[in-house]
Chain A
Amino acid sequence: MDSKASMPKPSYVSGSVTTAAKILVVGHFAVGKTTYIGSLSEIPPLRTEERMTQASAHVDDLAGAPDKVTTTVALDFGRLTLGDEVVLYLFGTPGQQRFVQLWEDMARGALGALILVDPARLADSFPVIELVEKYGLEYSIAVNSFTDVLYEEAEIREALDLLPDTPVSYCDARDRASSARSLITLVKHLLVRTA
Protein backbone atom coordinates (compact mmCIF):
# COMPACT_ATOMS: atom_id res chain seq x y z
CA MET A 1 0.00 0.00 0.00
CA ASP A 2 2.67 2.44 -0.90
CA SER A 3 0.04 4.65 -2.49
CA LYS A 4 -1.93 5.05 0.70
CA ALA A 5 -0.02 7.91 2.25
CA SER A 6 -0.38 10.07 -0.82
CA MET A 7 -3.91 8.97 -1.60
CA PRO A 8 -6.05 12.03 -2.25
CA LYS A 9 -9.49 12.07 -0.74
CA PRO A 10 -11.71 10.36 -3.27
CA SER A 11 -14.86 11.93 -4.56
CA TYR A 12 -17.66 9.73 -3.26
CA VAL A 13 -20.86 8.95 -5.09
CA SER A 14 -23.73 11.12 -3.92
CA GLY A 15 -25.76 9.50 -1.16
CA SER A 16 -28.99 9.93 -3.11
CA VAL A 17 -27.80 7.69 -5.95
CA THR A 18 -29.73 4.44 -6.15
CA THR A 19 -28.57 3.07 -9.47
CA ALA A 20 -25.17 2.57 -11.06
CA ALA A 21 -25.04 2.02 -14.80
CA LYS A 22 -22.18 1.13 -17.10
CA ILE A 23 -21.48 1.98 -20.71
CA LEU A 24 -18.38 0.76 -22.53
CA VAL A 25 -16.24 3.05 -24.64
CA VAL A 26 -14.58 0.67 -27.03
CA GLY A 27 -12.01 1.13 -29.73
CA HIS A 28 -8.66 0.10 -31.09
CA PHE A 29 -5.40 1.24 -29.58
CA ALA A 30 -4.86 5.01 -29.46
CA VAL A 31 -8.26 5.88 -30.93
CA GLY A 32 -8.94 8.30 -28.08
CA LYS A 33 -10.92 6.28 -25.52
CA THR A 34 -9.26 7.82 -22.49
CA THR A 35 -9.50 11.32 -23.94
CA TYR A 36 -13.19 10.75 -24.59
CA ILE A 37 -13.83 9.49 -21.05
CA GLY A 38 -11.81 12.36 -19.62
CA SER A 39 -13.89 14.93 -21.45
CA LEU A 40 -17.12 13.66 -19.87
CA SER A 41 -16.05 12.39 -16.46
CA GLU A 42 -16.77 14.42 -13.34
CA ILE A 43 -13.73 12.88 -11.64
CA PRO A 44 -10.22 12.69 -13.08
CA PRO A 45 -10.27 9.40 -15.02
CA LEU A 46 -9.09 6.49 -12.94
CA ARG A 47 -7.03 3.55 -14.03
CA THR A 48 -7.24 0.03 -12.76
CA GLU A 49 -5.89 -3.29 -13.88
CA GLU A 50 -7.41 -6.59 -14.75
CA ARG A 51 -5.05 -9.50 -14.73
CA MET A 52 -5.56 -12.43 -16.96
CA THR A 53 -4.00 -15.80 -17.24
CA GLN A 54 -4.92 -17.45 -20.46
CA ALA A 55 -3.77 -19.73 -23.15
CA SER A 56 -2.71 -17.41 -25.88
CA ALA A 57 0.28 -18.97 -27.57
CA HIS A 58 -1.73 -19.30 -30.74
CA VAL A 59 -2.32 -15.58 -30.78
CA ASP A 60 0.95 -14.19 -29.54
CA ASP A 61 4.29 -14.99 -30.98
CA LEU A 62 5.90 -16.32 -27.84
CA ALA A 63 8.61 -18.64 -29.02
CA GLY A 64 9.67 -20.89 -26.18
CA ALA A 65 7.19 -19.47 -23.70
CA PRO A 66 4.74 -21.71 -21.87
CA ASP A 67 1.29 -21.70 -23.40
CA LYS A 68 -0.23 -19.79 -20.52
CA VAL A 69 0.71 -16.16 -20.10
CA THR A 70 -0.41 -13.56 -17.64
CA THR A 71 -1.20 -10.17 -19.01
CA THR A 72 -2.21 -7.03 -17.26
CA VAL A 73 -4.70 -4.87 -19.06
CA ALA A 74 -5.19 -1.31 -17.91
CA LEU A 75 -8.75 -0.03 -17.81
CA ASP A 76 -9.42 3.68 -17.71
CA PHE A 77 -12.80 4.77 -16.52
CA GLY A 78 -14.75 7.84 -15.54
CA ARG A 79 -17.96 8.73 -13.75
CA LEU A 80 -20.89 10.95 -14.45
CA THR A 81 -23.69 11.61 -11.95
CA LEU A 82 -26.98 12.07 -13.77
CA GLY A 83 -29.75 13.67 -11.78
CA ASP A 84 -30.16 12.56 -8.17
CA GLU A 85 -30.50 8.84 -8.66
CA VAL A 86 -28.16 7.59 -11.34
CA VAL A 87 -24.41 7.40 -11.66
CA LEU A 88 -23.01 6.37 -15.02
CA TYR A 89 -19.60 4.75 -15.34
CA LEU A 90 -17.79 4.91 -18.67
CA PHE A 91 -15.26 2.13 -19.07
CA GLY A 92 -12.60 2.31 -21.75
CA THR A 93 -12.24 -1.19 -23.11
CA PRO A 94 -9.44 -2.33 -25.40
CA GLY A 95 -10.66 -3.98 -28.55
CA GLN A 96 -8.31 -6.94 -28.62
CA GLN A 97 -9.97 -10.27 -29.30
CA ARG A 98 -7.76 -12.22 -26.96
CA PHE A 99 -8.89 -10.52 -23.76
CA VAL A 100 -11.83 -12.88 -23.40
CA GLN A 101 -12.09 -12.85 -19.62
CA LEU A 102 -11.91 -9.09 -19.59
CA TRP A 103 -14.67 -8.83 -22.13
CA GLU A 104 -16.99 -11.13 -20.25
CA ASP A 105 -16.45 -8.99 -17.20
CA MET A 106 -16.91 -5.72 -19.03
CA ALA A 107 -19.96 -6.76 -21.01
CA ARG A 108 -21.84 -8.06 -17.98
CA GLY A 109 -24.42 -5.50 -16.95
CA ALA A 110 -23.35 -2.94 -19.55
CA LEU A 111 -26.18 -0.93 -21.10
CA GLY A 112 -24.32 -0.78 -24.41
CA ALA A 113 -21.13 0.26 -26.13
CA LEU A 114 -19.93 3.36 -27.89
CA ILE A 115 -17.42 2.34 -30.54
CA LEU A 116 -14.90 5.09 -31.16
CA VAL A 117 -13.61 5.03 -34.70
CA ASP A 118 -10.67 6.79 -36.34
CA PRO A 119 -11.82 7.57 -39.89
CA ALA A 120 -8.26 7.32 -41.17
CA ARG A 121 -7.88 3.81 -39.75
CA LEU A 122 -11.27 2.23 -40.34
CA ALA A 123 -9.92 -1.28 -40.86
CA ASP A 124 -8.59 -1.26 -37.29
CA SER A 125 -12.18 -1.07 -36.08
CA PHE A 126 -13.37 -4.30 -37.74
CA PRO A 127 -12.22 -6.62 -34.94
CA VAL A 128 -13.63 -4.20 -32.36
CA ILE A 129 -17.10 -4.23 -33.91
CA GLU A 130 -16.92 -8.00 -34.22
CA LEU A 131 -16.14 -8.31 -30.53
CA VAL A 132 -18.97 -6.01 -29.44
CA GLU A 133 -21.41 -7.97 -31.59
CA LYS A 134 -20.10 -11.27 -30.25
CA TYR A 135 -20.99 -10.20 -26.72
CA GLY A 136 -24.45 -9.12 -27.82
CA LEU A 137 -24.00 -5.48 -26.89
CA GLU A 138 -26.04 -2.79 -28.57
CA TYR A 139 -23.78 -0.07 -29.96
CA SER A 140 -23.40 3.07 -31.95
CA ILE A 141 -20.41 4.45 -33.83
CA ALA A 142 -18.71 7.70 -32.86
CA VAL A 143 -16.29 8.94 -35.48
CA ASN A 144 -13.54 10.72 -33.61
CA SER A 145 -12.65 13.39 -36.10
CA PHE A 146 -10.87 16.49 -34.96
CA THR A 147 -9.52 17.45 -38.35
CA ASP A 148 -11.29 19.38 -41.05
CA VAL A 149 -11.11 16.44 -43.39
CA LEU A 150 -14.65 15.35 -44.02
CA TYR A 151 -15.43 11.68 -44.04
CA GLU A 152 -18.83 11.03 -45.53
CA GLU A 153 -21.15 9.02 -43.35
CA ALA A 154 -22.10 6.83 -46.30
CA GLU A 155 -18.46 5.92 -46.86
CA ILE A 156 -17.97 5.05 -43.23
CA ARG A 157 -21.16 2.98 -43.14
CA GLU A 158 -20.08 1.05 -46.17
CA ALA A 159 -16.51 0.54 -44.98
CA LEU A 160 -17.67 -0.72 -41.58
CA ASP A 161 -20.55 -2.71 -43.06
CA LEU A 162 -23.05 -1.22 -40.62
CA LEU A 163 -26.71 -2.06 -40.37
CA PRO A 164 -28.96 0.79 -41.51
CA ASP A 165 -30.25 1.46 -37.98
CA THR A 166 -26.81 1.61 -36.33
CA PRO A 167 -26.30 5.28 -35.50
CA VAL A 168 -23.19 7.09 -36.64
CA SER A 169 -22.22 10.33 -34.94
CA TYR A 170 -19.21 12.58 -35.24
CA CYS A 171 -17.32 13.85 -32.24
CA ASP A 172 -14.18 15.50 -31.05
CA ALA A 173 -13.20 13.33 -28.08
CA ARG A 174 -11.50 16.33 -26.48
CA ASP A 175 -14.68 18.36 -26.44
CA ARG A 176 -17.20 17.78 -23.68
CA ALA A 177 -20.32 18.88 -25.50
CA SER A 178 -19.34 17.02 -28.64
CA SER A 179 -18.60 13.83 -26.68
CA ALA A 180 -21.92 14.19 -24.86
CA ARG A 181 -23.82 14.40 -28.15
CA SER A 182 -22.35 11.08 -29.27
CA LEU A 183 -23.24 9.51 -25.95
CA ILE A 184 -26.80 10.81 -26.19
CA THR A 185 -27.03 9.32 -29.70
CA LEU A 186 -26.01 5.95 -28.27
CA VAL A 187 -28.43 6.09 -25.34
CA LYS A 188 -31.35 7.06 -27.60
CA HIS A 189 -30.51 4.04 -29.72
CA LEU A 190 -30.40 1.82 -26.62
CA LEU A 191 -33.82 3.06 -25.65
CA VAL A 192 -35.24 2.16 -29.07
CA ARG A 193 -33.67 -1.28 -28.86
CA THR A 194 -35.14 -2.08 -25.46
CA ALA A 195 -38.61 -0.94 -26.45
Chain B
Amino acid sequence: MSVPGEEAAPVSSELVRSYVITGGRRLPSADDLSLHMLVTLAPDRELPLGASPEVRAIWELCAGGYLAVAEVAAHLGLPVGVARLLLTDLTEQGHLLRRSAPPPAKSESRLVIEKVLHGLQSLYA
Protein backbone atom coordinates (compact mmCIF):
# COMPACT_ATOMS: atom_id res chain seq x y z
CA MET B 1 0.00 0.00 0.00
CA SER B 2 1.13 3.50 -0.68
CA VAL B 3 0.74 4.62 2.89
CA PRO B 4 3.60 6.76 4.05
CA GLY B 5 5.54 6.01 7.16
CA GLU B 6 4.36 5.09 10.60
CA GLU B 7 1.08 6.94 10.57
CA ALA B 8 -0.75 4.20 8.78
CA ALA B 9 -0.24 0.54 8.13
CA PRO B 10 -2.26 -2.14 6.41
CA VAL B 11 -4.31 -4.38 8.63
CA SER B 12 -3.61 -8.08 8.88
CA SER B 13 -4.95 -10.64 11.32
CA GLU B 14 -5.65 -7.91 13.87
CA LEU B 15 -8.93 -7.30 12.11
CA VAL B 16 -10.08 -10.80 12.92
CA ARG B 17 -9.33 -10.26 16.60
CA SER B 18 -11.44 -7.09 16.67
CA TYR B 19 -14.29 -8.93 15.00
CA VAL B 20 -14.22 -11.57 17.71
CA ILE B 21 -14.10 -9.02 20.53
CA THR B 22 -17.12 -7.15 19.20
CA GLY B 23 -19.03 -10.30 18.38
CA GLY B 24 -19.12 -9.14 14.80
CA ARG B 25 -21.27 -6.15 15.64
CA ARG B 26 -21.08 -2.89 13.81
CA LEU B 27 -18.99 -0.32 15.61
CA PRO B 28 -21.03 2.51 17.13
CA SER B 29 -20.84 5.96 15.68
CA ALA B 30 -18.58 8.47 17.30
CA ASP B 31 -21.50 10.78 18.03
CA ASP B 32 -22.16 9.19 21.31
CA LEU B 33 -18.75 8.65 22.84
CA SER B 34 -16.21 11.14 21.61
CA LEU B 35 -12.48 10.49 21.97
CA HIS B 36 -12.08 12.98 24.79
CA MET B 37 -15.16 12.06 26.80
CA LEU B 38 -14.18 11.07 30.34
CA VAL B 39 -15.43 7.77 31.74
CA THR B 40 -15.06 5.90 35.00
CA LEU B 41 -16.59 2.89 36.69
CA ALA B 42 -19.78 3.65 38.64
CA PRO B 43 -19.58 2.91 42.38
CA ASP B 44 -20.71 -0.45 43.75
CA ARG B 45 -21.03 -2.25 40.47
CA GLU B 46 -20.31 -5.90 39.95
CA LEU B 47 -18.51 -7.29 36.94
CA PRO B 48 -21.08 -8.99 34.68
CA LEU B 49 -20.89 -12.76 34.70
CA GLY B 50 -19.05 -14.11 31.73
CA ALA B 51 -17.38 -10.79 30.96
CA SER B 52 -14.79 -11.10 28.21
CA PRO B 53 -11.10 -10.49 28.97
CA GLU B 54 -11.38 -7.12 27.24
CA VAL B 55 -14.35 -6.07 29.37
CA ARG B 56 -12.51 -7.22 32.50
CA ALA B 57 -9.51 -5.14 31.48
CA ILE B 58 -11.69 -2.06 30.92
CA TRP B 59 -13.35 -2.71 34.25
CA GLU B 60 -10.04 -2.79 36.12
CA LEU B 61 -8.67 0.21 34.29
CA CYS B 62 -11.78 2.36 34.74
CA ALA B 63 -12.15 1.45 38.42
CA GLY B 64 -9.21 3.72 39.22
CA GLY B 65 -10.64 7.04 38.12
CA TYR B 66 -11.59 9.11 35.11
CA LEU B 67 -9.88 8.58 31.75
CA ALA B 68 -10.80 9.73 28.24
CA VAL B 69 -12.17 7.17 25.81
CA ALA B 70 -8.96 7.48 23.77
CA GLU B 71 -6.88 6.80 26.87
CA VAL B 72 -8.84 3.65 27.65
CA ALA B 73 -8.23 2.42 24.10
CA ALA B 74 -4.53 3.28 24.22
CA HIS B 75 -3.88 1.72 27.63
CA LEU B 76 -5.57 -1.52 26.59
CA GLY B 77 -4.12 -1.64 23.09
CA LEU B 78 -7.58 -1.73 21.54
CA PRO B 79 -8.58 0.12 18.37
CA VAL B 80 -10.71 3.14 19.27
CA GLY B 81 -13.80 1.75 17.57
CA VAL B 82 -13.65 -1.48 19.56
CA ALA B 83 -13.05 0.30 22.86
CA ARG B 84 -15.95 2.61 22.10
CA LEU B 85 -18.29 -0.32 21.49
CA LEU B 86 -17.36 -2.02 24.75
CA LEU B 87 -17.64 1.25 26.66
CA THR B 88 -21.05 1.88 25.11
CA ASP B 89 -22.21 -1.56 26.28
CA LEU B 90 -20.99 -0.89 29.80
CA THR B 91 -22.66 2.53 29.83
CA GLU B 92 -25.97 1.09 28.68
CA GLN B 93 -25.74 -1.49 31.45
CA GLY B 94 -25.25 1.33 33.96
CA HIS B 95 -21.69 0.38 34.87
CA LEU B 96 -19.99 3.52 33.66
CA LEU B 97 -20.24 7.17 34.57
CA ARG B 98 -19.41 9.83 32.02
CA ARG B 99 -18.15 13.28 32.56
CA SER B 100 -19.28 14.63 29.33
CA ALA B 101 -17.75 16.98 26.87
CA PRO B 102 -19.64 20.28 26.88
CA PRO B 103 -22.56 20.71 24.50
CA PRO B 104 -21.60 22.49 21.30
CA ALA B 105 -23.58 25.64 22.14
CA LYS B 106 -21.57 28.72 21.33
CA SER B 107 -21.83 30.25 24.81
CA GLU B 108 -20.66 26.96 26.33
CA SER B 109 -17.70 26.61 24.03
CA ARG B 110 -16.70 30.20 24.68
CA LEU B 111 -16.67 29.45 28.38
CA VAL B 112 -14.48 26.39 27.80
CA ILE B 113 -12.11 28.33 25.56
CA GLU B 114 -11.82 31.01 28.23
CA LYS B 115 -10.95 28.40 30.83
CA VAL B 116 -8.39 26.78 28.53
CA LEU B 117 -6.77 30.13 27.80
CA HIS B 118 -6.71 31.11 31.45
CA GLY B 119 -5.22 27.74 32.38
CA LEU B 120 -2.51 27.91 29.73
CA GLN B 121 -1.62 31.44 30.64
CA SER B 122 -1.27 30.65 34.31
CA LEU B 123 0.89 27.63 33.51
CA TYR B 124 3.17 29.45 31.11
CA ALA B 125 3.01 33.11 31.97
Per a CB cutoff under 8 Å, which of B5, B14, B74, B122 touches A46?
Answer: B74
When A12-B64, A17-B66, A50-B81 are in contact, do A72 and B8 touch as well, CB less than 8 Å? yes
**What 1/0 mask marks residues of chain B from 22 to 47 whose CB sits below 8 Å from any chain A CB?**
00000000110011111000000000
Q: Would you call B50 an interface residue if the criterion is a C-beta within 8 Å of the partner chain's C-beta atoms?
A: no
A94 contacts B8, C-beta separation under 8 Å = yes
Q: How far is the CA of A110 from the CA of B119 in the complex (A)?
A: 17
Q: Are B75 and A71 in contact (CB under 8 A)?
A: no
List, in ascending order, chain B residues with CB within 8 A of A82's CB: 115-116, 118-120, 123
Nearest residue (CB) in B for A184 is: B120
Say yes or no: is A66 at the interface (Cβ < 8 Å to chain B): no
A17 touches which one: B1, B9, B15, B38 (CB < 8 A)? Answer: B38
Per the bound structure, the CA–CA distance linking A18 and B102 in Å amounts to 9
Max count, chain A CB within 10 A of own CB: residue among B7, B67, B106, B123: B7
Instruction: A164 to B83: give the CA distance in the assembly, Å.
Output: 42
Measured between beta carbons, the chain B residues less than 8 angstroms from A48 are: 70, 73-74, 78-80, 83
A10 touching B61 by the CB < 8 A rule?
Answer: yes
Main secondary structure of the interface of B (DSSP, over half): helix
* Number of chain A residues whose Cβ lies closer than 8 Å to a Cβ of chain B: 65
Of the candidates B9, B53, B77, B123, which one forms a contact with A180 in the assembled complex, judged by CB atoms under 8 Å apart? B123
Given contacts A105-B35, A108-B31, A187-B117, contact A3 B76 (CB under 8 A): yes
Residue of A nearest to B81 (CB): A51
Contact (Cβ within 8 A) B122 A71: no
Which chain A residues (103-132) contact chain B, with CB distance < 8 Å?
104-106, 108-109, 111
Tell me the nearest residue of chain A to B53, going by C-beta: A1
Is A147 positioned at the interface, with any CB of B under 8 Å from its CB?
Answer: no
> Which of A1, A75, A94 is packed against the most chain B CB atoms within 10 Å?
A1
CB distance from A47 to the nearest CB of B (A): 6
Please give the residue numbers on chain A whose beta carbons come within 8 Å of chain B beta carbons, in ascending order.
1-4, 7, 9-10, 12-13, 15, 17-23, 29-30, 46-51, 60-62, 69-75, 77, 79-80, 82-83, 85-89, 91, 94, 96, 104-106, 108-109, 111, 177, 180-181, 183-184, 187-188, 190-191, 194-195
**Could you name 20 residue pairs across A and B whose Cβ atoms are closer than 8 Å?**
A1-B76, A3-B76, A12-B65, A13-B68, A17-B99, A20-B37, A21-B112, A22-B35, A71-B1, A71-B10, A74-B8, A86-B112, A86-B119, A89-B36, A89-B68, A108-B30, A109-B104, A180-B124, A188-B117, A191-B117
